[in-house]
Structure 1
Amino acid sequence: MATWIWILIVIVALIAGTALGFYLARKYMMDYLEKNPPINEDVLRMMMMQMGQKPSQKKINQMMSMMNKNMKDVKK
């Protein structure tokens, strides 16, 4: 085969591999973050205490529900 065909095959394979790798890495990270959220109630409570606020359970529940709603909106 001609050299230009091999060059074309290599370029197409690199582009396809990059696109597939990006898609799989993104899907893996989205699933991981859904199963293991980076912010939970304890972290939120600590952040509020560091900002000088007294965290009530009601306020923490409101913030957690708001964050969960935002995550679902971003996912769509």
Structure 2
Amino acid sequence: MSPIWVVLIALAALIIGVALGFFIARKYMMNYLKKNPPINEQMLRTMMMQMGQKPSQKKINQMMRAMNNQQGK
């Protein structure tokens, strides 16, 4: 077999592997986010009420901003 065919087969396998890996990772992340959704304002409000606090909109916004800043770091 000539070296050109070996290089072409290796290149095709690499491209197929990258594409397959991308779609598998995408499917995994979609399932993960469906099972573990990111925290939103309603979830935060419910958590605060369960802890015995009366959540004001100002406090909710402040906590959401703090959580978003923490995720950005």
Normalised-by-shorter TM-score class: 0.5 to 0.7
Alpha-carbon displacement from aligned partner over 1:11-33 (angstroms, at most 9, x marks no partner) = 00000000000000000000000
Of 37, 61, 65 in structure 2, the residue corresponding to residue 51 of structure 1 is 61
Name the residue aligned to 1:27: 27
Q: Is the counterpart of residue 3 in structure 1 residue 13 in structure 2?
A: no
Give, in angstroms, the shift of residue 50 of structure 1. 4.6
Cα distance in structure 2, aligned partners of 1:23 and 1:39: 26
Letter in 2 for 1:11: L
Structure 2 residue matching 1:51: 3-state secondary structure: helix
Alpha-carbon displacement from aligned partner over 1:2-59 (angstroms, at most 9, x marks no partner) = 00000000000000000000000000000000000011512xx37x41536xxxxxxx
How many residue pairs are counted as aligned between the two chains?
Answer: 49
Cα distance in structure 2, aligned partners of 1:16 and 1:51: 45
Unmatched 5+ residue regions in structure 2? 49-56, 63-73
Unmatched 5+ residue regions in structure 1? 53-76
TM-score (structure 1 length as normaliser): 0.57
Letter in 1 for 2:3: T
Letter in 2 for 1:51: N
Rg larger in structure: 2
Percent pairwise identity: 55
